[in-house]
Chains A and B, each alone.
Chain A
Amino acid sequence: MKDVIRVSDMSRRNSDSLCTLDEPDLKPSPSSLGSVKEGPALTPLKPEVIQCCECSLDGTCALNIARPKSREEEDRLVASFLSGLEKLFTRENNWTFLRFLVYTMENCTRCQSCSDACHIYEASGRQEIYRPTYRTEVLRRLYFKYVKHGGLLSAWQHGDIELNWPLVARLAELSYRCNLCRRCAQVCPIGADNGLLAHELRKIFSQEMGIHPKELHDKGTMLQLKVGSTTGMPAAAVKDNVEFIDEDMSERTGLEVHTPWDVEGADVLLIHNAGEILAWPENPGAYAVVLNAAGIRWTLSSELAGYDAVNYGLWYDDAQFTRVALKQLEVARKLKVKKIVIGECGHAHKSLLVNVNRIADDELNIPRFSSIDLLRDIVFSGKLKLDPSRNNFPITLQDPCAIVRLMRIIEPQREILHAIAPRFREMTPHGVDNYCCGGGGGLAILNANNFGDWRSEVAGRKKLDQILNAFSDSLGSSIPKYVCAPCSNCKGQIRDLFSYWNIWERNRILYGGLAELVVNAMAEVKPGFLDWEWR
């Protein structure tokens, strides 16, 4: 039997992982996937990674933090963390979230009601370190001891903890074992938000110590602010790619498809997650087909950050978040568009429709809404002739946390599916009670070392279970099935999850966006728009 991991174990001074993930200990995989593997759930880390990086949490490593070479360097890093911790609780440095942070720090009663709501905790076989309150309990004890300068009385009231480098290194990794889906916050009876605390922890590491996953920072926000997109595509490349997509769409649909660029005064500026253009080009292509067919005066922008709705700053760094969001709004202001429509990307919805609101001044506060709402309006406007029988295969719907739980855009996508997909069925649970795909909070794009294994074995396990259950009447490879995931991150995670578990070969389940299903049902489009090929 494994030892119980305690909060104080975070300070343990050895390089062994705090917990090991063995397959039999995890939540049982769906029976349709066959027998359970034995042994470690994750591919072992390479010896050179273990030697040079801090990987003492759980057998995976998302950040690749270099091991300090001396005790002095350790002390310097701990001092830097402490400085960041103190800043996190000052209004000058953290006015953005201080209110919620302090509430949660001081009022959580540790009733553990949130634990059962967490898909990572459940899928891991209830490993203590993944409990939503575990990392926050570490932070809480540090807060009362080092920020509030509590003495013995405080330790008695709130618990004690030793601050050292092993704890800091583990805490950094642990802040990236949360999808920020905030299912825990939704169920908290007193309104504490342990999801937020994972976000705030990431901020200490990024904003004070310069520690962040490369995929989110160097290849994420920094790249976006440099060339215009997290994909690395400059404007000319995006235009080229979209031109190619237009040609492809024209061929596949039999309609003349043209994407307008930089149209001043357009009714709608559509901003996609630029990753769609490279990974799932049929989604922006489908939007072009639908918007043109509906007669909407729309445009894409080729300005810096204007063709990529992505804002990874939302997940780890307030400065990066505001920089990217303001740039995106500025593009719309310059183009004098009437509205901004956010493509099928969950975190971009939240970033541009919710989080940026209070920092955008009147000029930048251009009306913004969801592409899902727009699609619903178009589908029910009668402007498109739709033939639902073209979508006569089992379809289920992934509810992206940002769009559904956090913003509560729940029905428009369902209204569309009920209208165009006769064999649509829900996952259980769904809507605001949905489970994260396992890629939320930026995790979908983290791939260092064996982190992809962790995403598929632990973070995505619950979603896989839900998907297979939704198709329980049609499993196997004879009937094609479709997971409609109107979110780029969800799609990325589901793609990795399906590849890992060999779902396409075993069960012929494809995933894709919502607009593709609308185009597939358009009577004037050549039949067979959906490409039943694995990608």
Chain B
Amino acid sequence: MTLLLPIAIYVGLGVSLLGCLLRIFQYARTPVPLVWDLLPASGEETDHAEHRGSYFEETNWSKHPHHEHSFCEISAMLQDIFLLHGLWRINRPLWQWSFPFHAGLYLLLAGGSLSGLGVLFHPYAIAAVIFLLARICAWAGLWLTLFGSIGLAWRRITDANLRPYTVPGDLINLGGFALACLLILAGSLSRTMPPFQETVFALLTFQKILQLPVLTQVGIVIGSAMAGYIPFTQMAHFIAKYITYFLERREDAAMKATIQAEMARNLAYHPTWSASHIAAEGNKSWAEIAISNPISAERISK
């Protein structure tokens, strides 16, 4: 094994992290929108939560504080993220492939994180336990991701609902994961595969040169490339989901000082829409358009 492998891993993870940050930044800097939410927070602490109602069921709702991010809501969010509860409820046939795929990725992430932790704690006895857990996570993660990605690709090809909306990119994405997992697993079955802890040390610390099976090496390179590629595709929906599902949708209608400032900025924008009734004329702000009456600008057709 040359230094190329650890470099590939760190570059892959670095690009992935950077891509995720860029994506978060891209969404965060979109202007504060009008409220268009499906209300309310699933865990809203009101008397209405039981029947999925909202504070709009009260005549004096505007006087009551609304609790956000309650325990129930976080619990619902975690169930959705880790168990794909939403998909379980509405699309069970897809869930049976999507869940192992996502669970596999989470386990790989956990395995990688535990490996890093193990390296940090290697002088202590606890490191052995950490590496054992990391190994379990990595193994389970590889198998589940392999199983899930093949299943999802199979469904995309064979399901009459999915096939017309499947583009080559979808299959290549899933194929990339499947191939990386398959190669790493195949290589690790080889007699020449060094012990897990030694391998992790070599891959993460640049301190040792180990001879890994070629299949594993190729698998690691592909896996690293996939990690770096994720944030630039729709596979980054985990970022969007957090923002749309768990932040924006949970935002209640109450005006806040920050939102007011943002709104003032929004209303100062000068739109360039061309339809005559907008009467934007290139020099009017949204605020001016909102308080104008377009009747003078367009004849009413009877």
Please say whether chains A and B are actual partners in one complex: yes
- Interface 9-mer from B107-115, B199-207, B219-227, B243-251: B243-251
Instruction: Give the most central of B84, B164, B269: most A CB within 10 Å.
Output: B164
CB interface residues, B 262-302, toward A, < 8 Å? 263, 266-267, 269-278, 286, 289-295, 298, 300-301
CB interface residues, A 372-411, toward B, < 8 Å? 373-374, 377, 405-411
B266 close to A7 (CB less than 8 A): no
Interface size class of A (residues with CB under 8 A): 35 or more
B275 close to A103 (CB less than 8 A): no
CB interface residues, B 34-93, toward A, < 8 Å? 34-40, 48, 51-54, 56-63, 80, 84, 86-87, 89-91
List the A side residues contacting B58 at CB < 8 Å. 369, 373
A107 close to B236 (CB less than 8 A): yes
- Interface 9-mer from A85-93, A163-171, A241-249: A85-93
A99 close to B248 (CB less than 8 A): yes
B39 close to A113 (CB less than 8 A): no
List the B side residues contacting A444 at CB < 8 Å. none
Q: Decide yes or no: A157 and B295 within 8 Å by CB, A103-B244, A113-B94 being known contacts.
A: no
Say if the beta carbon of B253 comes within 8 Å of chain A. Answer: yes
B274 close to A83 (CB less than 8 A): yes
Say if the beta carbon of B14 comes within 8 Å of chain A. Answer: no
Say if the beta carbon of A137 comes within 8 Å of chain B. Answer: yes
Q: Decide yes or no: A408 and B31 within 8 Å by CB, A80-B274, A107-B236, A128-B164 being known contacts.
A: no
B26, B30, B32, B245: the one within 8 Å of A358 (CB) = B32
CB interface residues, A 192-223, toward B, < 8 Å? 192-193, 196, 206-210, 214, 217-218, 222-223
Instruction: Give the most central of B59, B86, B169, B255: most A CB within 10 Å.
Output: B59
CB closest chain-A residue, reference B54:
A408
Q: Decide yes or no: A369 and B61 within 8 Å by CB, A189-B90, A406-B39, A432-B52 being known contacts.
A: yes
B164 close to A102 (CB less than 8 A): no
Say if the beta carbon of B2 comes within 8 Å of chain A. Answer: no
Write the nearest CB–CB distance from B43 to chain A, whole angstroms: 13
B273 close to A87 (CB less than 8 A): yes
Say if the beta carbon of B208 comes within 8 Å of chain A. Answer: no
Say if the beta carbon of B27 comes within 8 Å of chain A. Answer: yes
Q: Decide yes or no: A218 and B300 within 8 Å by CB, A80-B274, A99-B248, A112-B161 being known contacts.
A: yes
B61 close to A186 (CB less than 8 A): no
A112 close to B162 (CB less than 8 A): yes
Say if the beta carbon of A182 comes within 8 Å of chain B. Answer: yes
B20-34, CB under 8 A of A: which get 1 and which 0? Answer: 000000110011111
Say if the beta carbon of B166 comes within 8 Å of chain A. Answer: yes
A338-363, CB under 8 A of B: which get 1 and which 0? Answer: 00000000000000011111110110
B241 close to A190 (CB less than 8 A): yes
Provide a sorted-by-A list of 30 A–B residue pairs whose CB atoms are within 8 angstroms.
Answer: A7-B164, A7-B165, A84-B274, A87-B272, A91-B266, A95-B286, A99-B27, A100-B244, A106-B234, A107-B234, A107-B240, A111-B91, A158-B167, A185-B38, A193-B244, A196-B36, A218-B300, A218-B301, A222-B295, A319-B290, A353-B56, A353-B253, A358-B35, A358-B255, A359-B267, A369-B59, A373-B58, A408-B48, A408-B56, A410-B51
Q: Rank and list the top 5 A-B pairs by shortest CB-CB distance, nearest first.
A: A157-B169, A408-B54, A95-B31, A191-B245, A191-B244
B contact set with A: CB distance below 8 Å: 26-27, 30-40, 48, 51-54, 56-63, 80, 84, 86-87, 89-91, 94, 98, 161-162, 164-170, 233-234, 236-237, 240-241, 243-245, 248-249, 253-255, 259-260, 263, 266-267, 269-278, 286, 289-295, 298, 300-301
Given contacts A95-B31, A354-B253, 13 further A-B contacts (CB under 8 A): A92-B270, A92-B272, A98-B30, A115-B161, A156-B169, A157-B233, A191-B245, A193-B36, A319-B294, A322-B289, A355-B35, A357-B35, A369-B61
